[in-house]
Amino acid sequence: MKRSRFSQIIASVLVNAIYEMKNYPIVLLSSVIAPLSLLFVITFVSDGALLGAAIQGGLIMTFFSSGIALQSDLSHLKNDFKLQDMIVSSPTNSKIYVTGMALAEIVYSIPALAILIVLAAIFLHPSLVQFVILTFVLLLMFAVSVAIGFMLSTFSNDIVQSYAFARLLSLVFATLPPVYYPITYVPIPFNYVAYLSPTTFAAEIMHSATGYIDISLNRLILDWIVLIVTCIIIMYIAVKKTRWKDV
C-alpha cells in the first residue's frame, strides 16, 4: 500500500486546528486576543510611536507561542486521549506527526497572523529585503519553539502542569523580553537579563531591520550568530531527547 505523507500531515492539521476551530469557534477569538492586547497597550502608551515595533513583537509572540502551544496541545492529546499511543503504533513517524502538528499551530494562529500582517503592510511598508529578514527570523523562532514544545510534550504526563508550563514559557520568552518595544527602553542591568532569551536577539534584528534601533554591523552579526546557534542547539537537544516511544 502506498502511503501519502501529505495525508499524514493533513491529519494533524485537521485534528489540532481545523476541526477544533470548526466545531468550537470560540477558540478563534482567544487565539487573536493574546498577541493583539499587548500591541494595543504599547501603542497607546507610546502615543503610536512604537506601533511598528509592537506589530513585530506581536508576530514574534504569535510564532513563538504557537510553537510552545504545541507542548500543551500534544500533551493533551497524548495524556487525555492517548492519541500519541495510537499514532506510534501506526505507519506515521514522529517527524511527520510533529510537522503536521506544528503546521496546525500556524493554521490555528492564522486569524491573529492575518491581522498582524495587514497591520504590518499598512504601518511598516516592508521592502523585499526587510520582508525576507522578518520572515526568516520569525521562522527561526517558530522552529526553536516547536522543538522545545515537542520535546517537553513527550516527557509530560500531566496536562494541568503542561498548560501552566506552556503559559510560563510563553510569558518568559515572548512577553517579558523586549519584543514589543526596542531593547533600548530596557535599563541596565535588566537588559543583560533580557539577552538570556533568544527572542530578544530576534526582536533586535527585526527592530534594526525596520529602523526602530540603530546597531553596529558587528552587533547585528553577533545577533544572527546567537540566534542561529541557539536554534541549532535547541533543535539538536530536542532531536536527541525527544521520546516518541516510551522506555
Partner 1 sequence: MFLVPKKKSISQAFVLKVRVMGTLECKGLTKVYQDHHKALDNLTLTLETTGIFALIGRNGAGKTTLVRILATELEPTSGNASINGMNILMQTDKLREKIAIVPQEARAIRWMTPKQTVKSYLLWRGYSYKDAKTLADESLEKMGLKNYANVLNANLSGGTKRKVLIATVTASEAEIIFLDEPTTGLDPISRRELWEILRELGKTRFIFLTTHYLEEAEQLAEKIGILKDGKLLSIGTLSELRGNSKYQYSVKLPPKTIVPNVKNATVTTSQTGITQIMTNEEEAFRLARLLSEQSVKFSITPVSLDDIFFYVVGQKAEDSNEA
For partner 1, the binding residues (CB under 8 A) are 1-5, 7-8, 10-12, 14-15, 19-20, 23-24, 77, 80-83, 85-93, 97, 245-247
Residue type, 136: F
For residues 88 and 171, which CB has a smaller minimum distance to partner 1 in the complex? Answer: 88
For residues 12 and 200, which CB has a smaller minimum distance to partner 1 in the complex? Answer: 12
Which residues make Cβ contacts (< 8 Å) with residue 206, sequence separation at least 6?
56, 60, 133, 134, 137
For residues 54 and 77, which CB has a smaller minimum distance to partner 1 in the complex? Answer: 77
For residues 10 and 117, which CB has a smaller minimum distance to partner 1 in the complex? Answer: 10
The distance of closest approach from Cβ of residue 77 to partner 1 in the complex, given in angstroms and rounded to an integer, is 7
- Kindly state the cell numbers that stand for 15: 485534528
- Kindly state the cell numbers that stand for 118: 495587514
- Kindly state the cell numbers that stand for 238: 530536542
The distance of closest approach from Cβ of residue 100 to partner 1 in the complex, given in angstroms and rounded to an integer, is 8
Q: Are 151 and 237 in contact (CB under 8 A)?
A: yes
Question: What are the CA-CA distances from residue 245 to residues 61, 132, 161, 211 (Å)?
Answer: 31, 38, 21, 47
